[in-house]
Structure formats: structure tokens, C-alpha cells
Structure 1
Amino acid sequence: MFTRQLHNADPSKVTKIPDPRVPNYRMGDYGYGKQGVRVFQLKKDGPVHSVTEFKVNSHMRLRTHKEYYEADNADIIGSDVQENTIYVHAQRHGLRTPEEFALTLTQYFLETYEQVEESNLIVEELAWDRFGEQEHQGYYKGKQHNHAFMRNSNGTHGCEVVRTRQGPPLLIGTFYGLRVVKTARAPFTGYVKGDMFSEGDMDDRILCTDINARWQYSKVVDIDFKTHWLKVRDLILQSFAGDPEKGVIITSVQYAAYVAERAVLDAIPEICSISISLPNYKHFPFDFSRFPPIEPKANVIIANPADTPLGLGYAQLDRLEKILQSFAGDPEKGVIITSVQYAAYVAERAVLDAMPEICSISISFPNYRHFPFDFSRFPPIEPKANVIIVNPAETPLGLGYAQLDRLEK
């Protein structure tokens, strides 16, 4: 996951409509949407209930750029419209798989709004297990509760769909959030040490990681997405763990990722690309040498799990003056900001106009709603003069962003 340049980084995201007032600039990435919309479906089959929950992020890119260039919101479909459409779509079609929901909803957005050039949905299933479904002991062993559920922690099933008016949609399947540990057949030897090493070769070790996988489908029709997702999950876990009795040798997380990716592509021809990321959480045996002698228990190793400290170093230095001035305007009169998209574009223009040594800038502005609180449901309250009580909401989240590039002369 190396850092990629902003300038001319992804031609597919570049706008085809420049601002005629500044022909030497170009937006390299742009869009807006709604983040973190959670939809919960309760289905009642007599006394037996079932539940499904999705978390949805919806982004759009419009055909024109009036909201950026001209401070004109005429083409914007409000992020609240996107949010409410998500709930209406769930009511009409139900929640089955993230892939089906995202594919049908992106199609709806393009069919309903002619100004939408591209619709992008990220959908994650927040899975629930019925009481008794996972219990191997205790009261609920062998009993499945009719209407009580617990959060599933066996990894998250999700997808990303990008649909444009040209060609088939892009569908990415995702699987993340499952922590696994392997306590044997995980050596780490033969690596470069030099003068600075401190750990040394390990003929065997405790290998702990989180599964993070993304894969792209070459087609989106005639696929049982639930079955495919479970198969990808099973192949990745099987590659990591191996035979139930003998296991399999894993020499590094790099090798583990590559072996799993090969297994998926070999087994599922509908998948054309897969990316897997595996962090390495150290589990070193605890050092008891500082303490009085302790008689160790046979066949027992006490380890010190460490998510952190994690070797990491980075920095980013921003010049804030131009961006803040574009957002706030004159100290007394201020400036009119019609949307977060317009705010981003104006700030980017201000920076590029003032600093020729900067060739590209990208700004993202989330929109945290602060609506006046609705007191109409309560007995009349005498309002205080010049005081407004609002209800801040960080989610669901409106979002606007843009990238502006300086074009070569």
C-alpha cells in the first residue's frame, strides 16, 4: 500500500469539464454523498424472527460541475435524499446480500436522476447470530431462540459498487475484521538482520493477524454472492491454517497473502483480481528471567500479545491560511458557502492561485448536520432570545470532496 501521487494519479477520476475561467486547472477527483446510513430489517415468520443489518455509504458524481464552479446547487441531489432513498429501497426490495443491494440501488440512482454520471455504493453487513446458533455449551446449546440475537464477530461481508452510464458496473467484494492466530508451523528465519536486529531467527512462533481482503468480479450476473463470499472466506482461512491435524507452513504474512490469493483465483473464475492485507501482531513468550525462578507448567507457553507498539513513522505539513480564509471569508462579513463541494473547490483554487509550486490539491469536507431541535412534540417552551438549540449528528454523514490539478502549459 505505497503512497500514490495526487497529480494525474487516476485518469478515470478526472473531470472532462474544466472551469473556463481557469483552463490551466483540472479537477482530478470529486464527488459527494452520505456516509454511515444503517438499515435494520426485521422479518417476522410467525413467532420466529430474523434480522439483517447493513451499513451504507452512498457517493455520487454529477454530469455538470455547477456546484463547484458556479456555486449553483441546481443539480445536487441532497445527501438526505440519498439517505431516505436507501431506506425506501430496503423497504421495496428487502435486505438480502450487500452486492445485490448495491447493484440495484446504483442502477436506480442512474435511472432516476439524469444528472448523475456515476453512483458509488459501499455496503457492509453487520451480521447477527441467533441465540443458540453458535453456542456449544450452556443454556442455549442445541436451542435456537425465536427472537434474540447477538452480534456476529466472524468477519464482515461487504462490497463496493461503481456504476456509470458507460459499460458494466465495477463490483468489489470485501472481507475484513476477522482476527486469526496460528500457534505452530509459522517459522520466521533467514531475513536480513545487520547490526540493528533484536529478535533473531524463530524456528516457530505464534502468528496472529487480521484478514483484510478485496476482490474484483469480472461479471455481475448469475452469481450467488453469499455462496461466493463464503467460499472466498473459506479459501483464505484454509490457506492460512492448512490441514486440521498437520496444518501448513507459513513463513511470513507476505507468503500467506500470496498463497491465499492464488487459491481464490484458481477456484473462482468469476474473480479477476484480489488484494489481501495481513498485519502481524507479535506474540512473544513473556520474559520471566527478571523474577525468582518459576517452575514452568509442562506444554504451556505464556505470551505477551501486542497490537502496539507498532513500528510506524510519518508526517504531513499543511499551510492552513489559504484554506481557512476561503472557508471563513472576511472577519466581519464572512463569505457565502453554498455547499461543501463549493467550499472545497474555492479553497483549492485559492491555494493553486497563490502557490505555483503546488501542482495538485485535494480537499474533503464532511458535513456534520446541526439541525434545530424539534420541540413541537413537547409542551410550549419560551425560547431564549438569540439562542438556538440544535441536535448535532456525526452520522449519517454528508460528504463533499474535489481534487484540482494544475495542467501543464
Structure 2
Amino acid sequence: MFAHKLFKGSKSGPQSFITDSNYCITDHGYGKDAVKLLHVLRNGPAHSIKEFEIGTHLKLDTQKDYLKGDNSDIVATDSQKNTIYLLAKKHGIQNPEEFAILLSKHFLSKYSHVNEVHVHVEEYPWQRICQEETGCMEPPGTTNSNFSSFNNRQKHNHAFVFTPTALRYCDVVCSRDAASPTVISGLKGLRVLKTTQSSFVNFVNDEYRSLPDQYDRIFSTVVDSSWEYSKTENLKFCNVWNIVRNVIIKNFAGDPYVGVTSPSVQHTLYLAEKEVLDMVPQISAISMTMPNKHYFNFDTKPFQGLVPGENNEVFIPVDKPHGTIYAQLERKDMQSKL
């Protein structure tokens, strides 16, 4: 759940303590993971919900709990769990990033011996149920209701449907000697597929190659992406998250009627990352991973007597093994913690 590397290399507090002549603790921390929370905002008849899974990790300014078994500085993980619920009750919840920043700053201000706080938040993808009235023939006085359509439909006041198109998350790290928190947002599990306008040709041709040039193939991937902010003041985190998701989908799919050519997964990935940095100046770096989820053409040549002709309709999904393509794009002269 946690990207522990965000703690690595931190300059807050002592970084190593000599325990004997041979060893020293170079990294440490503890916390509460997988705290589940549902917050309901009741604004008259229209209700809003946010469901989170939250982790909080603290790094203390001493290591006496490790070295001496002295627990006097430990803020119990159960206390961290209770803090999550109480701050949600007191302040409400707007989005993962703002709540993670609120939690981080609370632990630093409440406990003077806490040097660094890392909060990880994952948001469960709930969306309002929407109703579409169609013109289908029904008995007099009734209508046919389609509850699966979301565009320009009547939104339900207090009923929701789970729509896991992609999982939203964030990581926030606050330390005493940092001028501002490190805020990293992300999405994972965005699975997309297109049936044409994807090719892969002119790659290395040596004695190990068995894959032929592919001039028109199915392109499917599951996108994971994270991005770091250089500035967060007055930033609309939900808008930015939607922008990144939409940019990824647009560069993958293109115009709904014309599409867009993908000469490689690498090129599609780069174009999406570049457009994100062009559109959101507060993002200093973005990282993206696109594993290639293969769909191989079923060979019908041995069965021409049963099904004559070429096959371009039936494919075999193969999840493993798969290629993995990734890249991180940063603005020049900026160092990222991604």
C-alpha cells in the first residue's frame, strides 16, 4: 500500500543511530494501514459520499523504541486510526489530497517529537446513480428506465453505483524542515482497449526475434500513473485528476470517429505525459506504466473446411507474460520524488 521510498533519503531528523560498532538503523517508521472510512455529507435531500482507505506512518526523532524498548514516544497506531475518524467528523472531506494534508499537518503540530508524516489515501470510485427515461413502448402510464447511463441524466439524490474505471490515490509527506508538503497524486487500474490503429514495426531483427512486424493490432493496456505537484495552493485536485485521466484516454483513443495512430506504446505514453505537463503547470513530474495486455489472433488456417477465409474477429486474451512500458517525464531543473 505504501510507497516507502518517499521516506528514503529524507533529511528530517537524525538519519542513523549507532547501535553497536557494526550496525546502524538507516530508516524507520510505523503506522496504521488500511483504515476504511465512509463520509456522508447530507446537504438537504442531496447527499454526497466519499469512501477512503487510509494509511498513516510516522517517523519519530528518536529510535529508543527500537534500541531500548522504550515506548514513551510512540503514538499508538490505534490512536492514529481514531484521529482519522475524528478529523473527518470535525472537518469533513473534500478530496484525498486535502484530507491527507490535513492529517499530516495535524500529527506534526500535535506531537513535537514526530519529524515526518506520510499519509496514503485511496478513494473508492462511487458515482451517483443516474436515470434515463427512454421512449420504448411500455404499458400505458409507465416508462422504461435505464440506470446505466451517466451523461446528462437525472442524478439520484442518495443512491450510488460502484464504477471502478480507475482507482484514485495520493501520497502526502510532511516533515518539519520542509517548506511545503510533498504531494503525489495518481490513478491505477485504468484498463483500455482499441481494435485498430495500433502498430509495432521495424524493431530489432536478430536471431532471437520471432515476433513479425504488426501493422494493425489490438492495443490494450492497464494504465498506472502518478504525478507530483510543485505547487498546491488553491489547486483544484479533483479537476486535475480528471484532466490527467482524460488526457491519457484521449491520447490512447483519439477522436471518436477518426481515432489516433499508435506506432508504439512508448509513443502513446510520452504524448500523454507531455500533454499533462503542458496543461497543468503545477505538476512538476509525471510517471506512467503501460503493460501490454495481449490479444492474439486465433489461427483458423487449419480449419478452412469448417470456417474458410482469414480471421480478424476472434482473438485469444493472454495476460501473462506481457511487455511493460514505462517512463517518467519531468520539467527541467526539477527533482522529483516519484
* 8 Å Cα contact 1:158-1:173 kept in structure 2: yes
- Shift of the 98–14 alpha-carbon distance from structure 1 to 2, 3 Å rule, reads closer
CA deviation after TM superposition for structure 1 residue 294, in Å: 4.0
Question: What is the one-letter code of the residue matched to 2:36?
Answer: R
1:79–1:133 Cα change, 3 Å: farther
Do the aligned partners of 2:13 and 2:61 also contact (CA within 8 Å) in 1? no
| Residues 1:156 and 2:167 are matched in the alignment | yes
Distance 1:294 1:249 in 2: 35
The offset of 1:44, in angstroms, is 2.7
Root-mean-square deviation over aligned CA pairs: 2.7
Quote the Cα distance in structure 2 between the aligned partners of 1:297 and 1:143: 48
Q: CA deviation at 1:300?
A: 5.9
Matched, 1:190 2:196: no
Q: Could you tell me whether the CA contact under 8 Å between 1:15 and 1:29 is conserved in 2?
A: no
- Matches of 1:272 and 1:160, distance apart in 2: 15
Q: How does 1:192-207 map to 2 (within 5 A)?
A: 192-207=204-219
8 A contact 1:19–1:69 mirrored in 2: no
2 CA distance for matches of 1:294 and 1:171?
A: 59
Unaligned 5+ runs, structure 1? 1-5, 313-409
Q: Distance in 2 between matches of 1:237 and 1:56?
A: 27
1:227 Cα shift? Answer: 0.9
Gap change, CA 1:228 and 1:79, over 3 Å in 2: same
Normalised to the residue count of structure 2, the TM-score between the two structures is 0.82
Alignment of 1:13-162 (within 5 A): 16=14, 18-132=16-130, 138-140=145-147, 142-162=153-173
Q: TM-score, normalised by structure 1?
A: 0.69
2:16–2:26 contact (8 Å) kept in structure 1 = no
- State the shift of 1:50 in Å: 2.5
* Letter paired with 1:251: P
Q: Give the paired residue count.
A: 305
SS at 1:146 equivalent: strand
The structure where strand makes up a greater share of residues is 2
Q: In the alignment, is the contact (CA less than 8 A) between 2:219 and 2:292 conserved in 1?
A: yes
Shift of 1:296: 6.5
The equivalent of 2:336 in structure 1 is none
Matches within 5 A, 1:168-317: 168-291=180-303, 293-295=305-307, 301-310=313-322
Q: Which runs of 5+ in 2 are unaligned?
A: 135-143, 325-338
- Shift of residue 182, structure 1, vs aligned partner: 1.9
**Higher RCO (CA < 8 A, seq sep 6+):** 1
SS of the residue 2:108 aligns to: helix
Provide the secondary structure at the position in 2 that maps to 1:144.
Answer: strand
Residues 1:291 and 1:269: Cα distance change in structure 2 (over 3 Å): same
> 2:171 is paired with a residue of what secondary structure?
strand
1:124 deviation in Å?
1.4
Per-residue CA deviation, residues 184-236 of structure 1 (Å, 9 max, x unaligned), is 21100111232233321100110100111111100121111111111111112
SS at match of 1:145: strand
C-alpha contact (below 8 Å) 2:219/2:294 kept by paired residues: yes
SS at match of 1:68: helix
Amino acid at match of 1:87: Y
User: Do the aligned residues in 1 keep the contact of 2:297 with 2:312 (CA within 8 Å)?
Assistant: no
CA gap of 1:48–1:294, structure 2 versus 1, over 3 A, is: farther
- 2:335 corresponds to: none
Identity %: 38
Change (3 A) 1:265 1:255: same
The change in CA–CA distance for 1:297 and 1:32 in structure 2 (over 3 A counts) is farther
